[in-house]
Chain A
Amino acid sequence: MKKSFLFFAIASLSIMGCDKIELPNQPHTVVIPTNDTIRRIFIEDFTGHICQNCPKAARKLDSLKAAYPERIIGMAVHIDYFAGPCPPNPMPAGSIAGTFSEDFRTPENADYESIYTCSNWSYPNGLINRIGLTPVAYDDWPTTAVTLLADSMTAYIKINPNYNSSSRTLNVSVTGEFLCDTTGTYNIALYLVENGLHGSQVDITASGGIDNNYTFNEVLRGCINSPGTISGQQISTPTNITGHTPINYTSPAFNVSANFNAANCKIIAILINNTDRGVLQAAECNLQ
């Protein structure tokens, strides 16, 4: 009798094991384009124009972006001694007077230094999705990025820029949705980056070791919504975030410097988990 009961118990539990789904697609508070359902990886390339191996890292980033189109977002952070203009830094050996005068450093560098103590790093180096406080050597970027790309997307964000070219005023809103249940607080950080800047670069692979017509791309020009820091601003979320909690954020107005070529500028947005500073999702779009 007991044995029969055991079997009926197993049978009953098994028969309960069916979930019939009538509406398969998850309801979303925003419209997520079918071609935008992938996790993007944010790579911050810490670099400088007198860093002789830094062009190799830039090329590594380019090759990663080519291998995973639309899935890798890069940002070149010119920082520390290697990014300082010459003079006052000593001119690199073999350089021509007047070169290496560019300075792509930004006020946000101090925040990078306070959080990550970048001055202790060797260059080139990078942060991938801001995981931890130690950088990832550029040779390891592909392995780390590919591993992260395999993770499922936990949030969707979209940048909605509104740039007035006359006043050079930029207003940005970010919309999106959490795609997982979570808790904690989250920030949106918006960065302005510029492509197509030219200058001199020490390059171990270049003839004579220097490239005087080097193209700097994705150069960080500043944080749009928290100038001087890299953390951005906190977004409004409930205590318990569900898989459909919307993301609606509007940044303060930002003045795009006349020194920047707006046609070459892009906006990068990242959604940051304030618990560990990790990046959940990244997005980018042209300024205009």
Chain B
Amino acid sequence: MKKALLLIPTFLVGFISFSFAQTSLNNVAGGQIHGNFEFDGQYYYPDSLIGADTIPEKALMNGWGNINYTNGNFSAGIRYETYLNHLNGFPDGYKGTGIPYKYATYNNDKLEITVGSSYEQFGSGLILRSYEERALGIDNAIEGMRVRYSPYKGIYTKGVWGKQRNFMSTGAGIVRGVDGEINMNELFDSCMANIKTQVIVGGSFVSKFQADQDPFLVLPQNVGAWSARTNIIRNKVNFSGEYAYKINDPSAANGFIYKPGQALFSSLTYSQKGLGIYLGLLRVDNFSFRSDRTASLTQLSINSIPALTKQHTYALAAYYPFASQPNGQISWQAEISKKLKKGSKLGGKYGTDISINYSAAYGLDTTNLNDMGGKRLGYTSKYLSIGDTLFYQDVNVEIFRKINSHLKGTLLYGHFIYNKNVLEGKSNYPYINADVVVLDVIWKLSDKLTLRSDAEHLLLGGKADNKEDHGNWASLLEELSIGDHFFVAAMDQYNYGNPIVDHRVHYFSVQGGFSKGTNRIVFGYGKQRQGIFCVGGVCRQVPASNGFTLTITSSF
């Protein structure tokens, strides 16, 4: 333990020296080099009470650094990644060190060609979205070629062809896709210049190839998916919609059924000063699309199904998050954001922001065909009908108000219904009903000191039935910012309602951080509860842990 602590300052000094020496690299051979680095390390103590495992290495780390060079129309870069060994709970595929991301791009006369790794999204991502979400361990960059070309004003095309990144290597399948988008107002600017309505239409096609070596099934080696979309904007109203279709794509994710997949995603927004309205609808039917039909979890997804729920940032409000269900869901979301005027009776001296959000996700209304010995279509679903199974529901109200020049705060109330059987693959759990209240106050004590207090409470309804879940929680965070460079924080999450009395544990943690320029160093110690961590409807399980953490980030 002492040795581990001694290593930390040694590493810090070396890293900071390097970080501050980087600025001289920015001008190289007529071009510029930029980059950023991150180191995340943790020293673990086993804690059987909270389920924190013994880590044989005692300390684990994730680290990476992007180095990009640009010179006129040319750019190239690499990302060096190192996992020695990866942080507990991170996907096991991330092992060792390597340069899994590298690219070179040349842009000339509206034609951009990239060789190597690239991220891309067609439309809303229903049939192709390659992206990186480091916190979840998702990186499905396409390694091959990407071309973007605008042959005429208002016409935008792009194509990708390659293999997807699969942790430190690439997956078995090959992905090929094209996308085209036409901005009518730009294309026909002579006759549509004065028209207030903007119309954008687009379409995509993506095909994947994976050899069929299955002895029992005739598997489609080439699986194609297409989509059509539109975006209509007039004054304060913005409508967008995309429909996608995928031919038979038997995979481990859908139980090797040959039913075609469909997805529909549409949204309508209205915004004016002081008022915003959002309505969203999503229907997904058998639309898991991966470049390896045996892949699971977050691995090798070609597309991305969005989650039509509010992404909560407060710890207990995010305790029961929604994970998007690509095999089948129908979900919707509505949100009204209103700013109450300054000086009004309700708005107060500085005005008040109120946001009301409702979202729900249900299963599809399906009928089992029992045809696995025949066409293996699996089931049929009624397009306009909603299934009986509620996956998730969230109703929340968030109020932000500035009280005076020193004090402002946010009050959040949310009611959640969470289907643990569907969202976590459990069985025989009753629905979880949870009420969460958050009060987040930021108090400017002086020119140099700002105190943030975040008090949260989670109350499980029907808790007598939820013996296998974790009961009620209370959480308090105090964070003091000192000047522009330092902060210290302490947090306690207390699981006071755990049905098992011995598990009524305080998850206490402290953090201290320093930032200057583009460098930031955060050191912490504490207990982390086991839970589900989600970003954009994609989730992974985070194990409990107890120990010291160190995070260093820098960019140049």
Is the CB of A243 closer than 8 A to any CB of chain B? yes
Q: Indicate with 1 or 0, residue by residue over A14-32, a CB within 8 angstroms of chain B CB atoms.
A: 1111111111111000001
Q: Indicate with 1 or 0, residue by residue over B478-504, a CB within 8 angstroms of chain A CB atoms.
A: 000000000000000000000000000
- B207 in contact with A24 (CB, 8 Å): no
Which residues of chain B in 185-220 are interfacial with respect to chain A, using CB atoms and an 8 Å cutoff? Answer: 205-209, 213-220
Q: Of the 9-residue stretches B48-56, B221-229, B388-396, which lies at the interface with chain A?
A: B221-229
**How many B residues, CB 8 Å from partner?**
35
- Partner pick for B178 among A3, A10, A19, A32, CB 8 A cutoff: A10
Bound CA–CA A25/B224 (angstroms): 20
Is the CB of B373 closer than 8 A to any CB of chain A? yes
Chain B's closest residue to A10 (CB) is B159
Residues in chain B near residue A3, CB distance under 8 A:
111, 149, 151
- B215 in contact with A180 (CB, 8 Å): yes
- A7 in contact with B376 (CB, 8 Å): no
Q: Binding site of B, secondary structure by majority: helix, strand, loop or mixed?
A: strand
Known: A3-B149, A10-B147, A14-B176. A23 touches B205 (CB 8 A): no
- A14 in contact with B250 (CB, 8 Å): no
- A23 in contact with B218 (CB, 8 Å): yes
Residues in chain B near residue A37, CB distance under 8 A:
215-216
Residues in chain A near residue B208, CB distance under 8 A:
17
Chain B's closest residue to A18 (CB) is B224
Which residues of chain A in 171-221 are interfacial with respect to chain B, using CB atoms and an 8 Å cutoff? Answer: 179-180
- B205 in contact with A11 (CB, 8 Å): yes
Which residues of chain B in 105-163 are interfacial with respect to chain A, using CB atoms and an 8 Å cutoff? Answer: 111, 147, 149, 151, 157, 159, 161
**How many A residues, CB 8 Å from partner?**
28
Residues in chain B near residue A15, CB distance under 8 A:
205, 207, 224
CB distance from B464 to the nearest CB of A (A): 39
- B258 in contact with A26 (CB, 8 Å): no
Chain A's closest residue to B178 (CB) is A11
Is the CB of A4 closer than 8 A to any CB of chain B? yes
Which residues of chain B in 367-410 are interfacial with respect to chain A, using CB atoms and an 8 Å cutoff? Answer: 373-376
Bound CA–CA A153/B214 (angstroms): 9
Known: A7-B178, A11-B205, A180-B213. A21 touches B157 (CB 8 A): no
Is the CB of A152 closer than 8 A to any CB of chain B? yes
- B375 in contact with A10 (CB, 8 Å): no
- A18 in contact with B222 (CB, 8 Å): yes
- A25 in contact with B216 (CB, 8 Å): yes
Chain B's closest residue to A23 (CB) is B218
Chain A's closest residue to B376 (CB) is A24
- B218 in contact with A24 (CB, 8 Å): yes
CB distance from B148 to the nearest CB of A (A): 10
CB distance from B395 to the nearest CB of A (A): 42
Which residues of chain B in 214-250 are interfacial with respect to chain A, using CB atoms and an 8 Å cutoff? Answer: 214-224, 247-248, 250
- Partner pick for A18 among B151, B207, B214, CB 8 A cutoff: B207
CB distance from B96 to the nearest CB of A (A): 21
- A13 in contact with B218 (CB, 8 Å): no
Is the CB of B63 closer than 8 A to any CB of chain A? no
Is the CB of A97 closer than 8 A to any CB of chain B? no
Bound CA–CA A154/B248 (angstroms): 25
- Partner pick for B215 among A13, A16, A153, CB 8 A cutoff: A153
Which of B's residues lie within 8 Å of A, judged by CB?
A: 111, 147, 149, 151, 157, 159, 161, 176-178, 205-209, 213-224, 247-248, 250, 258, 373-376
6 A-B contacts (beta carbon < 8 Å)? A14-B205, A17-B209, A24-B219, A24-B248, A24-B375, A180-B215
